Amino acid sequence: MGEPSVDRRSFVTRTVSAAAALSCGSGTAAEPTQKPNSAVASEPPGTPCGVASGDVTHDTAVVWSRTDGSAKMVVEYATTADFRQPRRAEPVAATPEADFTAKALLAGLPPGHTIYYRVWFDDNGRVSPPVSGRFRTAPAPDKPADVFFAWSGDTAGQGFGINPEWGGMRIYDAIRRLEPQFFLHSGDNIYADNPIPESLKLADGTIWRNVTTPAKSHQAVTLEDFRGNYRYNLLDEHVRRFNAEVPTIVQWDDHEVANNWYPDQAIAGRKDAVNLPGVRDGRALADRARQAFFEYLPIKPQEADRGRIYRSFQLGTSAELFVLDQRSYRGPNSANTQDRPGRETPFLGGEQLAWLKQGLRESKATWKIIASDMPIGLIVDDAVDGKPHFEAIANADPGSPRGRELEFADLFTDLKQGGVRNVVWLTADVHYAAALHYSPERAGFKSPFEPFWEFVAGPMHAGTFGPNKLDATFGPEVRFEYAPRAGLLLPTGRTVPEGFKLPLPPSDGMQTFGTVRIDAVTQTLTVEFRNVFGDRIHDGTRIGRFELQVAK
């Protein structure tokens, strides 16, 4: 895997015009939508948003694209770049009902191979030029293998959109250059509730200038609004090139729908209710958001429940990845101090919790990696009228588990009883990078559980916040923390001043991602944190690099 070596100054100056770099095939910075009726009869279909792959296993993969009118998507693929002996997937219709997006499932792929593919659209003989991509299949389930992937979250938040003067969403390029086997997006793929203004005045007096679109001028409420949020990100050339070369595994958090939402939340009681006319509750808004999520991301619909997001992936015998959904089944945000399970305490929900317990107990993988869209021991506040309410798991009470912590106490107890070890948690959400170690020796929870690590990355392209306070219930201890503080030397060469204001902008360089590497022979799992330039991060005390050995 290559190391990044890009000079920062040349990166900034090597930007191209907004029309060329930020259009999604239209030649302008406008959103790619359906081509005008007058062009339908004569022009071939377009491929305005590029291609993407995702949910790659040892023998299957999803390939995604979008066109600008009704057509059939054709995917041809091979194990060589020159497409010797190509195979062709069953053509898939791109229709207005799915906003002209289409997904093809490639099956019967060889494990551990690079697969080259090309996509074109056919409208009754009028054929678009092919657009190419590639991905690598996972190792065979019964073989130990090297594993290398990246993760992060939080794209286009706090009004920070595509800024050509900064170089666009450049962290995607930093990740792509490392050539990970896949990328795990830990949630907040979009910020449907955060409009993108033309400009933002930053604390140092400089101006952040955004490419804008109609869909990003207001909070998303209609299905078309949510679709437009995904199209916005695809205006960025780094995102499109990344999508073509790095397969993704995605989960969602709150901003794919609205800030801090939960299914039974009455919209009338939200602060942003005026922006959501005609919407009854969180579930109704989420239904629209979920449709756009599945339309625009290369996620494979589950046969039993096509709207289900939680799922797992086998990475040889080295690891198994469990991807959670901590939004769809949660109870209301509350004071989170209930002493026993009830209507307000679910976070995963009974069915997902049972699935996770069973999957972890039955896993034959050395490492069990859990992709969580929110951290366990960091306090995430959602105060209502000055009264404490909480958005995540922790409740700011360091004692015995209460509220949503009850589910996790149940999970940790079950893992201990089942002899499940070598569990690692990955997350994002809080907009800074951290490494936390959890231990029963420090915990308010007095039942035995196995010590574990939780690694937090992000944001990818949004405002930087933090750090959050700890809740001691499960005994977390900060081992690494890369968050804004006065005197911190930024990767851009600037020092964070006294009296700084949050959030810090992407142009300060505190956008982060993490990588996970597992050695096939030693089974050592190594986590590294990197910044927007692809450089390893130092938090002022230590380098963000951790080697975990297998617990026998």
Q: Where in the chain are the domains?
A: 31-136, 152-548
pLDDT by position in tens, the chain (length 552): 333 333 333 333 333 333 333 335 443 344 545 665 545 557 899 999 999 999 999 999 999 999 999 999 999 999 999 999 999 999 999 999 999 999 999 999 999 999 999 999 999 999 999 999 999 999 999 999 999 999 999 999 999 999 999 999 999 999 999 999 999 999 999 999 999 999 999 999 999 999 999 999 999 999 999 999 999 999 999 999 999 999 999 999 999 999 999 999 999 999 999 999 999 999 999 999 999 999 999 999 887 788 999 999 999 999 999 999 999 999 999 999 999 999 999 999 999 999 999 999 999 999 999 999 999 999 999 998 889 999 999 999 999 999 999 999 999 999 999 999 999 999 999 999 999 999 999 999 999 999 999 999 999 999 999 999 999 999 999 999 999 999 999 999 999 999 999 999 999 999 999 999 999 999 999 999 999 999 999 998 999 999 999 998
Predicted local confidence at residue 35, as pLDDT: 64
Q: How far apart are CA 392 and CA 379, in angstroms?
A: 7
The answer to whether the beta carbons of residues 262 and 333 sit under 8 Å apart is yes
Q: Distance between CA atoms of 494 and 488, rounded to whole angstroms? A: 9
Q: What angle do CA 289, 194, 429 make, to 5 degrees?
A: 75
Q: Which string of DSSP letters, residue by residue, matches 321-386?
A: EEE--SSTT----B----SS--TT--SS-HHHHHHHHHHHHH---SEEEEE-SS-SSB--B--BTT
Tokens of 227: 């679709």
| Euclidean distance between CA atoms 260 and 262, whole angstroms | 7
What six digits make up the tokens of 10? Answer: 């040349």
Bridge partners (DSSP) listed for residue 426: 371, 455
Contact 535, 541 (CB under 8 A): no
List the structure tokens of 117: 């593919």
Chain centroid offset of residue 111 CA: 25
Sequence letter at residue 310: Y
Q: Does pTM top 0.85 for this prediction?
A: yes
**pLDDT at site 385:** 83
Q: 534, 8 in Cβ contact below 8 A?
A: no
- What's phi and psi for 161, nearest 5 deg? -105, -150
Strand locations in 124-169, DSSP E? 126-127, 131-136, 147-152
**Domain 31-136, architecture per CATH:** Sandwich (2.60)
Answer yes or no: are the C-beta atoms of 178 and 206 closer than 8 Å.
no
**511 phi and psi, to 5 degrees?**
-80, 135
Element holding 443 (H helix, E strand): none
Q: Which two tokens stand for residue 386?
A: 């000055």
Q: Output the CA–CA distances (angstroms, integers) from residue 213 to 23, 27, 35, 203, 257, in the order listed.
A: 11, 14, 17, 25, 19
Helix (H, G, I), strand (E, B) or coil at 542: coil
Residue 386: per-residue pLDDT = 86
Does the domain at 152-548 match CATH 3.30.1360.70? Answer given as no
325-362 per-residue burial string, b: 16 or more CB within 10 A, e: under 16: bbbbbbbbbbbbebeeeeebbbbbbeebbebbbebbee
